[in-house]
């Protein structure tokens, strides 16, 4: 089955920060780019974040600042650290999918399933994280045609580093913030078919990634 088309998208300060520090959320997008991000959500079949983003921001991942359907929420969570209080477990239209590994405790699976989640056990990569190619294969088999990856830094980096990203859309907010850099590893990728536009005071950069380039 065909893997979903993957869009990695996030908001960063001009100097590349996603947040002031891990675990300290930062609202970077202006109202127009926030609406654009929600339009993007509505245009994707599924949306994915890493579990640290759930622990830090408790996001809803729904479409609220635009009209359109909510994407299927997915969390990368190798050890099932997602809290039972997470708002994603009370999603208005979808059952939360937790992508995990065989290392996750069975009792956490039972508790999260009782709270309404669907737990998907997948192979682990060499770091013990959810193997992303296996996840994309599984999503393809479910008929998920498009996936929006919204963060945080480790998740963005993993999708870029493993060359699993088809399109990158970055909101550049006119701020300088020392903090958590969006790219959490040595990486040097060349973008092509680059388009830029202003939305309010933010710059939206959209590009494709040349997968023939070698990640450092």
Interacting residue ranges for ligand NAP, rule: CB under 6 A = 10-11, 18-19, 22-23, 25, 28, 49-53, 56-57, 76-79, 81, 129-130, 132, 150-155, 158, 180, 184
Residue 51 vs 148, nearer CB to ligand NAP: 51
For residues 115 and 123, give the distance between their C-alpha atoms in angstroms, rounded to a whole number.
24
Residue 173 vs 209, nearer CB to ligand NAP: 173
For residues 163 and 25, give the distance between their C-alpha atoms in angstroms, rounded to a whole number.
27
Whole-number minimum distance, CB 75 to ligand NAP, in Å?
8
Whole-number minimum distance, CB 31 to ligand NAP, in Å?
15
Residue 125 vs 166, nearer CB to ligand NAP: 125
Handedness of CA 78, 59, 132, 71 (dihedral sign): positive
Residue 81 vs 118, nearer CB to ligand NAP: 81
Report the first-to-last Cα separation within the chain, whole angstroms: 30
Residue 27 vs 114, nearer CB to ligand NAP: 27
| Alpha helices by DSSP H, the chain | 31-43, 51-57, 106-114, 132-141, 153-161
Whole-number minimum distance, CB 143 to ligand NAP, in Å?
22
Whole-number minimum distance, CB 145 to ligand NAP, in Å?
21
Residue 142's Cβ-side half-sphere holds a number of Cα atoms within 13 Å equal to 15
Structure tokens at 84: 């039972």
Estimate to the nearest angstrom the gap between the alpha carbon of 42 and the chain centroid: 14
Whole-number minimum distance, CB 137 to ligand NAP, in Å?
14
């Amino acid at each position: 089955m065909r893997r979903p088309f993957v869009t990695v998208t996030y908001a960063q300060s001009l100097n590349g920060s996603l947040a002031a520090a891990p675990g300290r959320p930062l609202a970077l997008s202006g109202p127009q780019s926030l609406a654009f991000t929600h339009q993007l959500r509505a245009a994707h079949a599924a949306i994915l974040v890493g579990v640290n983003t759930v622990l830090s921001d408790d996001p809803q991942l729904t479409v609220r600042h635009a009209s359109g359907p909510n994407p299927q929420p997915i969390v990368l969570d190798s050890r099932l650290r997602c809290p039972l209080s997470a708002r994603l477990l009370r999603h208005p239209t979808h059952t939360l999918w937790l992508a995990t590994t065989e290392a996750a405790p069975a009792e956490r699976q039972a508790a999260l399933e009782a709270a309404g989640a669907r737990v998907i056990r997948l192979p682990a990569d060499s770091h013990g994280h959810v193997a992303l190619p296996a996840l994309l294969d599984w999503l393809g088999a479910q008929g998920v045609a498009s996936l929006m990856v919204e963060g945080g830094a480790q998740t963005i980096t993993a999708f870029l580093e493993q060359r699993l990203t088809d399109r990158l859309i970055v909101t550049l907010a006119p701020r300088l913030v020392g903090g958590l850099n969006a790219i959490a590893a040595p990486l040097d990728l060349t973008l092509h078919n680059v388009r830029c536009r202003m939305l309010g005071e933010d710059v939206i950069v959209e590009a494709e990634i040349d997968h023939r380039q070698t990640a450092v």
